[in-house]
Amino acid sequence: MADHSTKRENNVAASDELSPKAKKTKTEHENDRGENGNESGKSVLSGFQTASVLSDSAREKTIFVHGKLADQNAVVILEKTPIREEALSEIFTASTLELDLRNDIYSTYRLLAPPHLNEIKATVVCPATDKHVKKYQRQESFLVDETADDYESITLPFIQKQSFSVQWVYNILEKKAESERIVFEDPDPMLGFVLLPDFKWDQKQVDNLYLIAITHQRNIKSLRDLTLEHLPLLQNILQKGKEAILQRYSLPASKLRIYLHYQPSYYHLHVHFTKLGYEAPGCGVERAHLLTDVIQNLQSNPRFYKTRSLSFPLRADDGLLSQFREAGRL
């Protein structure tokens, strides 16, 4: 129930979620690491066998590929990294140009930049389930208007029946994975959270800054669960998240977009922090709810999100969409 963008929950390649065969592959390549501790591209993807292209976007410069890796179903997401301002001088001086056409004052070229300035970000989901494969296939979307009754009778039973795994979230909270990526943490079990970069951000420039605040509380699935009792938690995330980003990235709150998704891509409460002006996937009005609005809505009505209708987009192959159709709600 998410779009084509890369989501945190797709990193099921965390060590405790790999199949035995995939674990073996990871172990065999533990020594193929550079000085920065990163696995070399050759060790991970040299054996990838392409089956099909699930979708691509010329505008976003991404492609989603389905195939096999170590005999396991896998999805590989390739994304061109942004051009950084500090690299412009080297791009202009160290690249070669091949002329495509010239007409009056206009010329177009193929610019061949040095390899280290021509990176492609690769995200690997392995082993990938059928849900992962369907998730990245190009699909038509539909807008659903969910009433409070719809949530109780359609959405909540669907969520409970599916038992979506958030083990990768618990791995982060328990410091079993990605602990080195944490930008800030408030360890309080009720009000606390961890703040870390979303995988969509390469962390090389603040123009496309994207961080996620994940709550230590584990019993809040989504916006629908929020009531007045959660205001201290939300206010703590808002205030300390802004302070941490200002201190770490020198980015003031006036340049941040801070919001929650509904439906979320995974059912553990988390808040998105992106730079204002960066059109992050899922930041549109049909899915994003500003945290400041959420706080004010709960202050005016403690059961605001328990009672009001909420609209959100679902892809054509989403099981929840089928449930709404079967109930005659679409």
Give the residue numbers annotated as catalytic, written as ranges: 270
Alpha-carbon radius of gyration of the chain = 22
Instruction: Classify residue 302 as exposed, middle or buried by CB count within 10 Å of its CB (0-12, 13-18, 19+).
Output: middle
- H-type alpha helices, the chain: 20-28, 41-45, 88-94, 130-136, 148-150, 156-162, 167-173, 231-249, 291-300, 304-307, 319-326
Tokens of 142: 């539909």
Handedness of CA 104, 106, 107, 108 (dihedral sign): negative
State the angle between helix axes of 291-300 and 231-249 in degrees (0 to 180), rounded to the nearest 10.
160
How far is the C-alpha of 232 from the C-alpha of 215, rounded, in Å?
A: 12
**Cα pseudo-dihedral 236, 239, 242, 246, rounded to 10:** -120
Q: Three-state SS string across 13-37, please? A: CCHHHCCHHHHHHHHHCCCCECCCC
How far is the C-alpha of 98 from the C-alpha of 93, rounded, in Å?
A: 14
Length of the chain: 330
Contact between 22 and 72 (Cβ < 8 Å): yes
In the sheet with 120-125, reading across from the earlier edge strand, the strands are 49-57, 62-69, 72-80, 120-125
How far is the C-alpha of 214 from the C-alpha of 254, rounded, in Å?
A: 22
